[in-house]
Amino acid sequence: MDLKPITAPATEEDRAAVDALLGPAVPAATSLRESAGLRHLLLPGLHAIQSRLGWVTPGALGYLCERLHVPPAEAYGVATFYALFSLTERPSRVLHVCDDLACHAAGAPALTAQLEARAGAPGRAHNGAMWLRSPCLGLCEHAPAAMLTEAGVAPRAVAWGPVDVAGCADALAGHSPSSSAAWTLCAPQATGAVPWSAGAPRLLRRVGQVDPESLDAYRAAGGYQALRLALERGPSWVLREISESGLVGRGGAAFPTGRKWQAVAQATARPKYLVCNADESEPGTFKDRVLMEHDPFAVVEAMTIAGITVGAEQGFLYLRGEYPLAHARLSSAIAKARARGLLGADILGRGVAFELEIRQGAGAYICGEETALFASLEGFRGEPRTKPPFPVESGLFGRPTVVNNVETLANVLPILTEGAAAYREVGTSGSPGTRLFCVSGKVARPGLYELPFGVSLRHLLELAGATDVAAVLLGGAAGTFLGPAELDLPLTFEDTRKVGATLGSGVVLVLDSSIPVGPVLARIASFFRDESCGQCVPCRVGTVRQEELVARLVRGAPRGSHQQEQELLRELGCAMRDASICGLGQTASSAIESAVARLGALFPPAAAAAAKEPKP
């Protein structure tokens, strides 16, 4: 291909932003060969431009395209895919105010209204700053939350909560970021690491107890024992232990981890890749953030074990762009591990190699879908790919790839140090081990709770101090609502499946009787409309129609009869579930349909009763 460059010339600053990532430009004669295979640097390149200039200028994008030999139209298509990149000029300081589910329950609608009165409409520059509404920032236990980004030669980002309108205004005025103390003080506390009754927590045992910046402290607290065991006993031992532990994925799909690892370990194609999916974006989910912020070495160690077990020498941790503190802590942990020979060409002198790199997402929920994540990492739009082929066969760069969620990987360490048999002693036979529950909303003690599988939802809600429970959203925006009569549900994969619910990513969002369900459903519908990648018709248009339908019902202005609207909602849900390419479209109607069926939301009682009748 013979690329036509962008006509806007790159300024010195445009070039500097890109060169800071890629190094100085090479002579033109060698650039084509030099740039072959560099497409995967498109996303880091766009981050470099955005964080330095505050927006993606035509000149900088053109220069990046030249350096990476990417067609400008494609690079523009990629840049316009992500919410954290702007293709039009923006002030350097941008405040992202979360108005998603947990923050909604914590008063985000009032907060954003006040902010609008004080600092102008969202998206409008005002005194060198602007604010935007944001989908879930993963700070639900500190709701309402916000994230401030400040572009420049030394770009900064901080996410914190709870925020009020004065705090938002201060941040917009630059007060909070200019005082270095505020930037560090804003680090969220590791709250709610509640020990379970049967013993000490497994996944959260170091959270809030051990200095996340110190490798020595991590080792003193049992760190790197699992890697030593894995190196001593070999990959087949690790594979057997993981398989026998019954560990299944904690990202939402609950696929057996052992089978995934086994398939990639047996694959003959080279190279193989390990990807840690840390694009935690499911509204109401913050468990991976807490693990990465407060036990970063555990994530690095578990990834190292996974890599050497399946024969992957390169790992990528795909971290959502809204987690600045996790990024800092993980970067520091990786550097320290590498300096001590715990990462690199010769791990602990055993002759095995594993390298690890963090790649940041840029505001796209869909990139948590594994094949969309690969596309994003490779420098393409984060559009899911058709399965089959599955990642274990053809994943990142078309190679056999293991992709695991952060919490899934965190389980690997106790499985190896305790042994699979001891691991299984906790939990149920169908759901062994413990689970992290992200409790937020109307509870006295929101936070991350580690509990053995099998405890009831009621028990968890009692621990968190829920007194008035009108509804619980289980599993996230892609999950299901449960009514107050269903709180005795044991929290396991098998029991939730039996009642047509899902544990999803561990979200337990509590709504009390003070919060009308309608606007919450409207927010969920709005979320999926915003986050659909737009590739397939059922999801691209279906999420729009679903949002319109919910809006009509919340306004009390159905089109035609309630029965007609009910039929429309049901048929939309069926088509999205059956005909969408990926899990986003397939689950986009799940929470709304469950609220109609289980809470009697959106429709008057007569229509709701008719909906429960079996359809011919």
The DSSP secondary structure of 104-159, one letter per residue, reads: HHTTHHHHHHHHHHHH-STT--BTTEEEEEES--S-GGG-S-EEEEE-SSS-EEEE
CB of 123 vs other proteins, minimal distance in Å? 7
User: Which amino acid, 486?
Assistant: E
Nearer to other proteins, 442 or 529 (CB): 529
Tell whether residue 559 is a contact of other proteins (CB under 8 A).
yes
Q: Smallest gap, in angstroms, from Cβ of residue 385 to other proteins?
A: 10
Minimal distance, residue 567 CB to other proteins, in Å: 9
CB 266 within 8 A of CB 383: no
531 binds other proteins (CB under 8 A): yes
Segment interacting with other proteins (CB under 8 A) among 97-105, 148-156, 394-402, 568-576: 568-576
| End-to-end Cα separation, the chain, in angstroms | 56
CB of 380 to other proteins, least distance (A): 10
Task: Work out the number of other CB atoms within 10 angstroms of the CB of residue 494.
Answer: 13
For the bound state, the minimum distance from the C-beta of residue 158 to other proteins, rounded and expressed in Å, comes to 20
- The string of DSSP codes covering 480-524 is EEE-GGGTT-B-SHHHHHHTT---TTTEEEEE-TTS-HHHHHHHH
Binder of other proteins out of 547, 588, 594, 611 (CB under 8 A): 547
> How far apart are alpha carbons 318 and 373 in whole angstroms?
8
Q: Out of 550, 607, 608, 611, name the contact with other proteins by CB under 8 A.
A: 550
Q: Report the DSSP pairing between strands 156-160 and 447-452.
A: unpaired
User: Judged by CB under 8 A, does residue 394 bind other proteins?
Assistant: no
AA letter at 182: A
Closest CA to 413 of 423, 403, 424, 398: 423
> What is the smallest separation between the CB atom of 183 and other proteins, expressed in angstroms?
25
φ/ψ of residue 275, rounded to 5: -125, 130
Chain positions 334 to 393 lying near other proteins, rule: CB under 8 A, are 363-364, 381, 386
Nearest one of 382, 387, 230 to 318, comparing CA atoms: 382
Residues 55-94 that bind other proteins (CB under 8 A): 58, 61, 71-77, 80-83, 86-88
Restricting to residues 114-133, name those near other proteins by CB under 8 A: 122-123, 132-133
With respect to other proteins, which residue has the nearer C-beta, 71 or 234? Answer: 71
Amino acid at 91: P
Question: How many whole angstroms separate alpha carbon 561 and alpha carbon 577?
Answer: 24
Nearer to other proteins, 330 or 522 (CB): 522
Site size for other proteins, by CB under 8 A? Answer: 71
In the chain, the amino acid numbered 102 is: A
Using CB under 8 A, pick the residue from 529, 590, 593, 598 that binds other proteins: 529
State which residue, 344 or 518, has the beta carbon closest to other proteins. 518
Output DSSP code: residue 209. T
Of the residues 94, 115, 276, 536, which one makes contact with other proteins according to CB under 8 A: 536
Task: Say whether residue 157 binds other proteins (CB under 8 A).
Answer: no
Query: Pick from 407, 597, 374, 568: which is nearest to 499 by CA?
Result: 597
Closest approach, Cβ 362 to other proteins, in A, equals 10
3-class secondary structure per residue, 415-478: HHHHCHHHHHCCECCCCECEEEEEEEECCCCCEEEEEECCCEHHHHHHHHCCCCCCEEEECCCC
- Cβ nearer to other proteins, comparing 157 with 186: 157
Quote the tokens at residue 437: 């529950």
Q: At CA 366, angle to CA 586 and CA 555, rounded to 5? A: 65
Give the CA angle between residues 177, 180, 181 to the nearest 5°. 110
Q: Is 540 in the site for other proteins (CB under 8 A)?
A: yes
Interacting residues with other proteins between 88 and 107 (CB under 8 A): 88
CB of 121 to other proteins, least distance (A): 12
Task: Output 277 or 535, the one with its CB closest to other proteins.
Answer: 535
Tell me which of 522, 591, 602, 608 binds other proteins, using CB under 8 A.
Answer: 522
What is the footprint of other proteins within residues 6-35 (CB under 8 A)?
Answer: 6-7
* Closest CA relative to residue 424, chosen from 242, 234, 227, 259: 242
Residue of the chain from 394, 434, 566, 580 that contacts other proteins (CB under 8 A): 580
Give the span between the Cα atoms of 276 and 320, in whole angstroms.
11
Contact window for other proteins (CB under 8 A) among 293-301, 464-472, 550-558, 599-607: 550-558
The kind and range of the H/E element at 406 are helix 406-418
Distance of CA 63 to the CA centre of its chain: 30
Q: Which of 75/229 has CB closer to other proteins?
A: 75
DSSP state, residue 196: P
Nearer Cβ to other proteins (399/523):
523
Among 392, 451, 533, 591, binds other proteins (CB under 8 A): 533
Residues 248-287, interacting with other proteins (CB under 8 A): none
In the complex, the smallest distance separating the C-beta of residue 455 from other proteins, rounded to whole angstroms, is 29
Candidates 532, 587, 589, 594: give the one binding other proteins (CB under 8 A): 532
Residue 566 contacts other proteins per CB under 8 A: no
* CB 67 to other proteins: min, Å: 15
Position 38 contacts other proteins (CB under 8 A): no
